[in-house]
């Protein structure tokens, strides 16, 4: 079901409005509500599966780190809000996710997954991760197949790199860059300073 109208980095993130579950309550969320903050969209295949709870809980456990970077998270799957609620009411030891620090969005119509081009031919969301900046522009996208999870550490590293270059537009971040490490001046002459130092 992947569409030909693929979203790309640098595009405006497709807006949506949907029901989510947060703190055991149903609430409507809109992508536009998050303008002015960074946002991680975390698509995943289905509730009550095997890899999914490891990712969903890992991002919840890292919420304080993520929030400290002026960033919020939305988890999204094609399950109903009632399924999300039941999954949250089940403890982690039993395959549930327990109380999460961020909302889980119901994409029962599959419209959100289609607009982000992560809906597969079985009608499940692939493991899509999108980092959207304060202006609503997609700065990073990563899509894994169903059977392997994503890295919190790499997500945090990428988020910090995005924020660094947006705050320092004359610099770019080299491979494996971490905060505090050298960057490259976005200039043919000044860039040599970096390459001569490694």
pLDDT of residue 4: 52
* Integer Cα distance of 17 and 112 in angstroms: 9
Q: Which domains does the chain have, with CATH numbers?
A: 17-150 (3.40.30.10)
Contact 146, 127 (CB under 8 A): yes
pLDDT category of residue 192 using cuts at 50, 70 and 90: confident
Residue range 12-42, pLDDT digits in tens: 999 999 999 999 999 999 999 999 999 999 9
Q: Which residues contact 17 (CB under 8 A, 6 or more apart)?
A: 28, 29, 30, 31
What are the helix and strand counts (H, E) for the chain?
A: 6, 9
Mean pLDDT (whole number) for 118-135: 97
Contact 127, 145 (CB under 8 A): yes
CB 88 within 8 A of CB 100: yes
Q: Write out 71-98 in H/E/C secondary structure.
A: EEEEEEECCCHHHHHHHHCCCHHHCCCC
What is the C-alpha separation between 116 and 28, in angstroms, rounded?
19
**For the segment 42-58, what is each residue's pLDDT rounded down to a tens digit?**
999 999 999 999 999 99
Does the annotation count 83 as an active-site position? no
> What confidence category does residue 143 fall into, taking pLDDT thresholds of 50, 70 and 90?
very high
| Residue keyed to tokens 């993520």 | 66
């Amino acid at each position: 079901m992947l569409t030909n109208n693929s979203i790309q980095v640098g595009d405006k993130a497709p807006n949506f409005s949907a029901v989510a579950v947060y703190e055991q309550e149903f609430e409507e969320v809109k992508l536009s509500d998050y303008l002015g903050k960074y946002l991680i969209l975390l698509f995943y295949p289905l509730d009550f599966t095997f890899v999914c709870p490891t990712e969903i809980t890992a991002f919840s456990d890292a919420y304080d780190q993520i929030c400290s970077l002026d960033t919020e998270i939305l988890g999204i799957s094609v399950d109903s809000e009632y399924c999300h609620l039941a999954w949250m009411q089940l403890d982690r030891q039993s395959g549930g996710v327990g109380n999460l620090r961020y909302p889980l969005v119901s994409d029962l119509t599959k419209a959100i997954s289609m607009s982000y081009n992560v809906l597969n031919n079985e009608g499940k969301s692939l493991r899509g991760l999108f980092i959207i900046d304060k202006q609503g522009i997609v700065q990073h996208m990563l899509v894994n197949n169903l059977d392997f999870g994503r890295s919190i550490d790499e997500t945090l590293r990428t988020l910090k790199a995005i924020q660094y270059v947006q705050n320092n537009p004359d610099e770019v971040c080299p491979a494996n860059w971490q905060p505090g490490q050298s960057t490259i001046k976005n200039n043919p002459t000044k860039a040599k300073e970096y390459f001569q130092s490694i």
